[in-house]
A and B are shown apart, each in its own frame.
Chain A
Amino acid sequence: MRALLTVIGKELKENFRDRRTLLSALLFGPLFGPFMFAVLIGLLLDKAVTEVDQKVELAVSGSTHAPNLMRFLEQHDVAITHLEVDAAGARAAIRSGTHRLVLLVPEDFPNAFARSVPAPVQVFSDGSDNRTGKYASRVRQLLAGYSAQIGASRLLARGLNPGVAQPIAVDDVDVSTPAGRALLVLGMMTYFILFAMLMGGLYLAIDATAGERERGSLESLLTLPVRRETLIYGKILATCCYMLLSLAITLAAFTVSLRFVPLEELGMSANFDALVAVRVLLVVAPFVLLGAGLMTVVASFTRTYKEAQSYLTVVLLIPTLPIIFAGLYSLRPTNALMAVPSLSQHLLMTSLLRDEPLQDIHIAVSAGMTLLAGVVLAWLAGRLYRREAILG
């Protein structure tokens, strides 16, 4: 026990003096995520807000052929610029970027309109351009709306109920809660939290294993009258301390940074006060042992600092894979899913952020299975250190 504490104390002290470890564990990892997150959300909101308010710019050729249609469009926030081009000219205008959207009203439009046969118009846009796509579909919607309106009045004029031309009435019901809609955003946030936590322990895990071997201090250490398991458990626990510290700083940074982000405008409740931060910490904490054990086991196979670093950056991605699946399949918390480490933390964190109640059994299964996996990995690390090959 005394030896264990000695090892933990030494690793904490030594790494606290290492600028690289300190910066990545306590600064870059924990602060980068919340900062990036705030900036991204800010940009996202900015874009969403401006796109709703902005008028759709539409270049129209032959506007004089359909003055009523023009008035209808202008009433619905479309800014019309007039020009005279043919189809080829419209294509060229889109391609050269002078106009994003071109509506072509042909000469025989009034004629066809008057005879009540479908009057042709053409909408030119670049489908591969993300931003134009939204405007083009809005213009199309407006055209369809205008078409339906005219159609209905024509039927009425002929003494028919316009309803006969509309056999099906579609009623779209959106059941997503305001917070639930922000699933993608939440997935990103839990990813940042897990990643920052792992980053916190990364350099200590490397330094305590591959680093010790590369410096040539491992052999001396192993000649001391201390069981090898004690040494490696001490190193793993020291890694855990750094990861917990990193996690706490990350969550503190999130509570601060989210205050400056108007999440309500995204339709997401800003449910991240100090209490939620503490609950997130408790829910994620069991993952610390697993992360530290995993990194130590992987680093045990490597001979140099650099080698360990390149393997571990890949390992850092493993816990984030389940999060991607959770996003793709819109997974909801179940007992079975709670048995999957990192996925269970992600789902529990997401529930906390959405202000949904947590089930005790879910918390228990998540913590139990994650801790079990952590203990197994720590034990495995101990076994690996008993190999003679560890001397290199």
Chain B
Amino acid sequence: MIELRGISKSFGAVQAVRDVSFTAHDGRITGLLGPNGAGKSTTLRVLATLLAPERGVGQVDGHDLAAEPLAVRRSLGVLPHSSGLYPNLTGRENIVYYGRLQGLDAAALAQRAEELTVLLEMQEFVDRRAKGFSQGQRLKIAIARALVHAPRNVVLDEPTNGLDVMATRALRDLLRRLRNEGHCVLFSSHVMQEVATLCDEVVIIAHGIVVAHGTPEEIRARSGSETLEDAFVAAIGTGEGLQ
């Protein structure tokens, strides 16, 4: 379970996040929806303890962000916005490297890498050097890498960016599967339809503030709109950044 309360973060004069609070529960897919520049990536970086918030607190499975950053990171599987691989390592070596840094022992790690290879259907390329991978192959390895230690909480920053239809579908299936296994799945997106089809809960964020929070149905009903898209536009005030 992920909880953020009153998070704010600025870079110099730019206030990237003003006041973000939400809870993402286990067994639910929570979507962080907002236009470009709304503060989604910054929020997720604060959550991953890459950035320290100016104000606000957060917990992952009861571990405090500020007090136990290593425990927080151990409980999280993070797929950042840019997740490059090591081009001179094979796909499997990329996964194993992260597993070792997560503290897994060799035998468990080999087994886990094989599981993930089957789960993400990577048998064909997992033992090739990452240098020549396609966008979709890279993403699969990056996801496997993030899941190598079987984290309870999975955080993905705009994971579907640049993916083709098949890869997007495969990713959706994976996220649903993780949810059904009881994981807490949190992902950010600026694509309305994606969030609408996939999420159990939606957090709409604009200008660094959470403007709406609930199930898609609740958000729609509360704003009195016909569709979630209308509700989104009503919530953020303008139609900027919509796709």
**Are A and B genuine complex partners?**
yes
Query: Cβ of A221: which chain B residues have Cβ within 8 Å of it?
Result: 101
If A17-B88, A388-B51, A391-B45 touch, whether A224 touches B83 (CB-CB below 8 Å) is: no
If A222-B50, A388-B52, A391-B45 touch, whether A217 touches B86 (CB-CB below 8 Å) is: yes
Q: Is the CB of A226 within 8 A of B45?
A: no
Question: Quick check: which of B73-81, B174-182, B233-241 contacts chain A, the rest being far away?
Answer: B73-81
Q: Is the CB of A220 within 8 A of B100?
A: no
Query: Cβ of A220: which chain B residues have Cβ within 8 Å of it?
Result: 78-80, 83-84, 98, 142, 145-146
A215 within 8 A of partner (CB) = yes
Interface size range on B against A = 20 to 34
Chain B interfacial positions (CB closer than 8 Å to A): 45, 48-52, 70-71, 73-74, 76, 78-89, 93, 97-98, 100-103, 129, 142, 145-146
In the assembled complex, the Cα of A253 lies from the Cα of B48 at a distance in Å of 49
In the assembled complex, the Cα of A292 lies from the Cα of B226 at a distance in Å of 62
* Residue from the list B52, B81, B93, B101 in contact with A3, Cβ < 8 A: B101
If A14-B86, A215-B87 touch, whether A225 touches B102 (CB-CB below 8 Å) is: yes
Q: Is the CB of B142 within 8 A of A224?
A: no
Q: Is the CB of B86 within 8 A of A18?
A: no
* Shortest Cβ gap from B91 to chain A (Å): 14
Q: Is the CB of B52 within 8 A of A223?
A: no
Q: Is the CB of B70 within 8 A of A225?
A: yes
Residue of B nearest to A17 (CB): B88
Q: Is the CB of B70 within 8 A of A227?
A: yes
* Shortest Cβ gap from B53 to chain A (Å): 11
Query: Cβ of B129: which chain A residues have Cβ within 8 Å of it?
Result: 17
Query: Cβ of B85: which chain A residues have Cβ within 8 Å of it?
Result: 215, 217
Q: Is the CB of B74 within 8 A of A225?
A: yes
In the assembled complex, the Cα of A7 lies from the Cα of B97 at a distance in Å of 8
In the assembled complex, the Cα of A155 lies from the Cα of B101 at a distance in Å of 95
In the assembled complex, the Cα of A7 lies from the Cα of B45 at a distance in Å of 23
Chain A interfacial positions (CB closer than 8 Å to B): 2-3, 6-7, 10, 13-15, 17-18, 215-217, 219-227, 388, 391
* Shortest Cβ gap from B67 to chain A (Å): 14
* Shortest Cβ gap from A334 to chain B (Å): 47
Q: Is the CB of B84 within 8 A of A14?
A: no
Query: Cβ of A14: which chain B residues have Cβ within 8 Å of it?
Result: 86, 88-89
* Residue from the list A15, A215, A225 in contact with B84, Cβ < 8 A: A215
In the assembled complex, the Cα of A10 lies from the Cα of B87 at a distance in Å of 12
Residue of B nearest to A3 (CB): B101
Q: Is the CB of A6 within 8 A of B102?
A: no
Q: Is the CB of A217 within 8 A of B83?
A: yes
In the assembled complex, the Cα of A387 lies from the Cα of B40 at a distance in Å of 21
Query: Cβ of B52: which chain A residues have Cβ within 8 Å of it?
Result: 388
* Shortest Cβ gap from B81 to chain A (Å): 8
User: 18 other contacts beyond A215-B86, A388-B51, with CB at 8 A cut-off?
Assistant: A2-B100, A3-B101, A6-B100, A13-B93, A17-B88, A17-B89, A215-B84, A215-B85, A216-B80, A217-B83, A219-B45, A219-B50, A219-B81, A220-B83, A220-B84, A220-B146, A225-B102, A227-B70
